[in-house]
Structure 1
């Protein structure tokens, strides 16, 4: 051990500086709470075990689909024909758009409706709740479900082949009968034969189920250079996962075909309407011809009449075509005005102007896209707003084009009507009967030509409608993974193990953060720079036992007894080695100054030294209780001059050479008594009679009594207690040490808990529990002694 005087001199000039990081010390403090690690590892691994036992495994189901991209087509003559038919009423699709459609809420809700997924069936298998989709003993068809039915599950148990019990009741209900209760109105049917005899029914709203299913659906494009889309769906039930993907693709194809055929359907409706009108008109004209011939007896027409007839017929055909074009333009104009309100789309085949045809085709394509986005997106979607803007622009262009064409048609019509007027004048020379017949025959020919034209276009449109196929093709049918993808057992076990170490580390660090008390010697040395004269381990006593139990048997070989012997030996290093009057103080009460002073006095007495212990804590004395002596008279009587010193000295049962002077009755003015001049006389007189005079003083941090007593002692021992003294108090101790407020001040580190955090042999003189005879005997007698375990783990 270094020379104490040199150490004191060195510390006078030491300034507080940043300490180097001590990894060993940092790790060692965690071992004080080593017991937390096996406890939490056991808890987290148990939690992982129960999680794996209670969690139903999740399987992944995948399928791939090819979508025709608008930049790819079919080559060859046959491909041109098929491409023409398929492109008449809709083009190919963008992969990105179709991915969004596949993930739409509407499609998923349709899947839920067709598969009846708004009703789920589960049962208990051990600790786990298992979904029994496709293996349920009953099938529930809901009609009306209440709010209570959506919140609470319903249990159905089979009673026999034709009856069941509801929610554990004894009443039997027949299958196939409509039931009404708190859950709502529903019908329960017998399911397929299965080993399950009970099922828990959970009703859910289609919207919430769709949201949950969409969160487990992934639609991706594996290769950006291809148009293949991969759909992945995760579900606890393998069969349900396959059914969902199959139904989703089915609903998607049906929806795509419906969108693609909408224009062709509208065109067919328009042609059928026109055919109905022309058929009626043609029938009327044919009847007129038949009636006229019968009534007039006409069989032939003269050459002159034939010539005028051919000219007029040709001119009338042109005029009728112009009228037809005007009607079509009027239909186009009406369709554009009323587009989106159920208007029937006009037939683009009868429009000769390529610009108008192109604009109408573009308008119809934009209208279809708007309908698709309207079903899958919100009204404020930027894509929908863009399409609406394009529709408005195309609509304006169509109307301007129609107006221009209409003006041209009107001029043509006037010219044709003028020519007809001239031909009609030529026919005046023909007999009236023949002329009338020619007029009727002309109308018949015109109606026949128009009728044949419409029939041809209807067949072409019907052929295109019938040949329409989906723009997507299934590549791989849904395939489920053989092993579950969730939960991953290895990750759960590893996570449980990591959590078992991480949680105690967090707890321990939290303890360190919120703990503002002294935890080790380094805290004292770093903040006070004062020497630690001795270190006293934690002494376990009964919580409600007598105070005398805190006195150590100095004849024992326990660790604490040895530490007091070491403290006694270190007294020779106080000052110049001749310090015989020693004061014990602390920052606050409860830090163990009375305990240390009594046991040090006992240790000195056992070393054949005459020792007297003074109870100068005149405010809250405790020596009389610990040493089991009287306190009717004491130092307070001496200080006020009521008693002489010899009458106050009492012997103790600890050792014949260990005497004590208690504090006596509590005075009203302790500080004034200590400064009346009788205290130094008492100490001087006792110094002549005893080898050591030990003084148990009040805490310095609470009252000034210790400062008054410190003027008359040779040395002061400041008691600091492990896990009790606040770190802020150490700063005050450091100031006292630097300013030499107390003579030859040193620190006694009391109540040290030698748990795993300190390690073997840590402390002054290498005092570790389990090293000395009594500790070894106790360990051999009962290696699982709870007190020993508590010492190891740092408890108490």
Structure 2
């Protein structure tokens, strides 16, 4: 349903992602997908045809632990030579993949000398099947670093042709004759006596450096464990010659086992030599240790260190008791000395029992305390100046002095005794302290003696084990499966995968091209694209693209797609016209566009013919006075009375009437009046601002049912806007694959600012595959195209 402010685009059309719509965009280009798939499959076929088949040789081995091999058992328990019992599988894989192993394989199998014969498609290697053998005079060190190629052709059982380059002139040599080269002479000999069976054979001989072949094998041989934490390892390799692949895999395993056996034997020999040296050295050390014990006891004059240490401890305890008693007595005397020296307490009694056995001090102390008691008694009845009291004071002073003198003498005596006991304690303690050192030294010597003895016995045992292990060395890898062809046939090229990959590329390449093309596309293609840019302006319809050789103007009783498109636009326009019901110029239709080349004149002429075909009186005015196109389209058509003057003459000359400028034409049996633009004026804008423009439109709008005006592009010039007031409706033409999306902003501005009356949109030059909807079913009643396959 069409209205004045929206279009008849279905509601399910939105800017949201639509998977079905996206797929339909690519399905429209199915021919490119088919072509790309055919080309890709063709390339895949040619590649498979000219690619040598590859065969897979697979072998399985189990990596054995060294803990069961006696070759290293002699040194396992020694801390200095301890090794891990279980070698990591990954580490062993790296050992197997070492360059030295592959270098030995190349030399052993002579892979650096390659014999091949050229077939119709590719070269085939003659591994072990070559009828000739190349021998070298120079040493292997030179040959192993040489890169050289030559060609031979067997002529007879005795002669052959030789050339360095395939296009060189051949030289004839006899088998066994020396051929000079830049690295030395070579000799070609028959491999067997049946050389006559190979007469005429052309053989290419290529000498390749050993290091290059070894590096190539290292990259081509695959080694990996069959399962996690498994010691079973799979060794595989692909090669055009299955026997060669098998030999390489089997030789690689043999080299690994040979290397490990050689390594273990070398370890056993080194172990035996080492143990013999250590046995002799330890025997000598045992003799030295015994001598050290004898010298120690003799030098320290001891027989039993433990018993003598007990005696020293008893003496030390007794001395400590005496020393503690003396120190206690010394402290008591010091206390009494301090008490007697204090004048403030000279009349206080002193302890009488601190003499510690000294009778003089004890007696003086008792005498002193008795005199103090008598003095206190006298003081109760007499004063301190009493003669008796004064006499007692003198007596107390004398006793106090004697007591101090006795304490001083006793203190000195006890101090001398303390120092004597301390010196004696030091002597005893020094002997006690020396006992642990002597005992420690003796034990250290005895410990060395025990270690040497146990190590001596241990090495004697291991020497016997190492001697036995030399005759019982086993390899580190157990062969589970020797090399075999795992698939029974070639593994590559895989035709199924190759064709699937080719088919995938055939689909993805055009998809990417179309995706990038659509991503970079900035033009509209149908009314759906136009609706996404402008949603508030009615879209009348789409006009299909006119192919070369097809008619570009509608005809009477025409059932072509072009005619049907204009009929749809005419019907939609009549519906819009009835809805608007303009009072002025309702039958005047302006046709314009954004830029030139979008098909204004084409649409104006065909729209006029379509309306006239319904029996309406229609006038077509060529108002694009700067670049008129209508006349060039109808100049060969029939006209009853062709006027010499056009629109520009009418606007510029008041004497020219409207009737003088209108030309009646019969185009494809359809009659229509046309007012051509006339001569191109020097001032088109000023001319269109003339008052006679209003006279023209007032007159023709009354005389005709429809007046269609072909105007200039609205963005390039101002001509259309100058006369836009006389338009009841404006049909704005856009062109598929031509009109840029960004310039449609100008169209929206015109509509928003209401510079053009009653704007309606039409999409011109639309591919039938890009019609907004319904195009894939064709037009009802149109002739059906014949198809290759027809459903019954």
In the superposition, the TM-score normalised over structure 1's length comes to 0.64
With over 3 angstroms needed to count, the CA separation of the structure-2 counterparts of 1:101 and 1:524, relative to structure 1, is same
Matched, 1:36 2:29: no
Cα distance in 2, alignment partners of residues 735 and 351 from structure 1: 110
CA distance in 1, matches of 2:75, 2:119: 57
Q: Does 1:171 align with 2:147?
A: no
The answer for the alignment partner of 1:215 in structure 2 is: 219
Alignment partner, residue 628 of structure 1: 635
Q: How does 1:98-497 map to 2 (within 5 A)?
A: 98-139=92-133, 155-161=151-157, 162-166=159-163, 167-174=166-173, 175-179=175-179, 188-190=188-190, 197-223=201-227, 227-263=231-267, 347-348=276-277, 350-353=279-282, 465=470, 467-481=472-486, 482-497=488-503
1:558 is matched with which residue?
560
1:532 aligns with 2:534: no
State the Cα distance separating 1:244 from its structure 2 match: 0.6
CA deviation map 1:171-206 (0-9, x unaligned): 244345554579997555545668793345555444
Structure 2 gaps of 5+ residues are 297-461, 637-641
Match of 2:53 in 1: 57
Decide whether aligned partners of structure 1 residues 201 and 616 sit closer, same or farther in structure 2, where only a CA change above 3 A counts: farther
Structure 1 residues 678 and 58: alpha-carbon distance in aligned structure 2, compared to 1, 3 A threshold = same
In the alignment, structure 1 residue 708 sits paired with structure 2 residue 714: no
Matched, 1:687 2:701: yes
Question: 230-239 or 205-214: which moved more?
Answer: 205-214
| Contact 1:119 1:204 survives alignment (8 Å) | yes
For residues 313-353 of structure 1, give each alpha carbon's deviation from its aligned partner in whole angstroms, at most 9, with x where no partner exists. Answer: xxxxxxxxxxxxxxxxxxxxxxxxxxxxxxxx794354353
Q: How many angstroms does 1:468 deviate by?
A: 4.1
Deviates more, 1:217-226 or 1:615-624: 217-226
| Preserved contact between residue 150 and residue 206 of structure 2 (Cα < 8 Å) | yes
Go from structure 1 to structure 2 and tell me whether the alpha carbon gap of 1:182 and 1:555 turns closer, same or farther (over 3 Å shift): farther
Moved more, 105-114 or 630-639: 630-639
Deviates more, 1:61-70 or 1:98-107: 61-70
Return the offset for 1:163: 0.6
1:667 aligns with 2:681: yes
Question: Does residue 658 of the first structure (1) align with residue 655 of the second (2)?
Answer: no
2:622 paired residue number:
615
Q: Secondary structure at the match of 2:628?
A: coil
CA distance in structure 1 between the partners assigned to 2:500 and 2:45 by the alignment: 12
Change over 3 Å in CA distance of 1:677–1:178 after alignment to 2? farther
Structure 1 residues 66-85: Cα deviation after superposition (integer angstroms, max 9, x where no partner) = 33313x427xxxxx799559
Q: Which residue of 2 aligns with 1:47?
A: 43
Q: Which one of the candidate residues 640, 665, 671 is aligned to 2:652?
A: 640
Give the distance between the partners of 1:405 and 1:732, measured in 2 at CA: 111
1:89-129 deviation line (CA, Å, top 9, x unaligned): 99777243322110112211221232232344444545455
Equivalence map 1:720-731=2 (5 Å): 720-731=734-745
> Which residue in 2 is equivalent to 1:501?
507
Between 24-33 and 522-531, report the one with greater CA deviation. Answer: 24-33
Q: Distance in 2 between matches of 1:695 and 1:178?
A: 100
Query: For the pair shown, which has the larger CA radius of gyration, 1 or 2?
Result: 2
Name the counterpart of 2:395: none
Describe the SS at the equivalent of 2:660: coil
Query: Closer, same or farther in 2 for the Cα pair 1:746/1:117, shift >3 Å?
Result: same
**Contact 2:146–2:209 (CA under 8 A) maintained in structure 1:** no
TM-score by length of 2: 0.65
Q: Distance in 2 between matches of 1:184 and 1:746?
A: 92
Question: Residues 68 and 648 from structure 1, CA distance in 2 versus in 1: closer, same or farther, beyond 3 angstroms?
Answer: same
Moved more, 687-696 or 639-648: 639-648
Report the Cα distance in structure 2 between the residues aligned to 1:534 and 1:15, rounded to whole angstroms: 17
Query: How many angstroms apart in 2 are the aligned matches of 1:494 and 1:668?
Result: 68
Could you tell me which residue of structure 1 aligns to residue 366 of structure 2? Answer: none
1:649 aligns with 2:644: no
Aligned to 1:589, the other structure's residue is in SS state coil
Contiguous gaps of at least 5 residues in structure 1:
75-79, 271-344, 355-401, 416-456, 785-796
Alignment equivalent of 2:755, drawn from 741, 744, 748: 741
The CA distance in 2 between the partners of 1:600 and 1:101, in whole Å, is: 87
| Distance in 1, Cα, partners of 2:463 & 2:68 | 27
Query: Judging changes above 3 Å, is the alpha-carbon distance between structure 1 residues 45 and 15 closer, same or farther for their aligned structure 2 residues?
Result: closer
* Distance in 2 of aligned mates of 1:494 and 1:537: 39
Contact 1:534 1:749 in 2 (8 A): yes
| Equivalent pairs, count | 593
Paired residues of 1:632 and 1:665 also in contact (CA < 8 A) = no
* Deviation (angstroms), 1:11: 7.4
Question: Is the contact between residue 112 and residue 118 of structure 1 (CA under 8 Å) also seen in structure 2?
Answer: yes
